[in-house]
Amino acid sequence: MPRLEGKVALITGGASGMGRVAAGLFAGEGARVVLADVLDESGLATVAEAADSGGEADYVHADVSIASDVEAMVAFAMERFGALDVLYNNAGILPGDDGSVTETTEEVWDRVIDINLKGVFLGCKYGIPAMLRSGGGSIINVASFVALMGAATPQIAYTASKGGVLALTREVAVDFARKDIRANALCPGPIETPLLAELMSDPARRQRRLVHIPVGRLGRAEEIANAALFLASDESSFITGATFVVDGGITAAYVTPE
List the catalytic residues.
158
Asked if 232 and 86 count as a contact pair (C-beta separation under 8 A), the reply is yes
* Distance in angstroms (rounded) separating the CA atoms of residues 57 and 35: 7
* Distance in angstroms (rounded) separating the CA atoms of residues 99 and 154: 5
* Distance in angstroms (rounded) separating the CA atoms of residues 246 and 257: 22
Asked if 252 and 189 count as a contact pair (C-beta separation under 8 A), the reply is no
Task: Give Cβ neighbours of residue 215 (< 8 Å, ≥ 6 apart).
Answer: 248, 249
* Distance in angstroms (rounded) separating the CA atoms of residues 147 and 117: 12
Find residue 60's DSSP bridge partners.
36
Cβ atoms < 10 Å from Cβ of 256: 4
